[in-house]
């Protein structure tokens, strides 16, 4: 159970990370 929840947390953080990264790239272009 712990392993599955860890994977889920990592996935969530990764998606947030990429979203922030894309947002930052857009901001840098401005």
Per-residue pLDDT tens over the stretch 1-30? 688 899 999 999 999 998 988 888 888 876
**How many residues does this entry show for the chain?**
30
Instruction: Specify the pLDDT at position 10.
Output: 92
Angle at 18 between CA 5 and CA 30, to 5 degrees: 155
**What is the Cα–Cα distance from 30 to 19, expressed in whole angstroms?**
17
Instruction: Specify the pLDDT at position 3.
Output: 87
3-class SS at 30? coil
């Amino acid at each position: 159970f712990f392993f599955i929840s860890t994977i889920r947390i990592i996935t969530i953080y990764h998606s947030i990370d990429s979203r922030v990264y894309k947002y930052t790239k857009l901001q840098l272009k401005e």
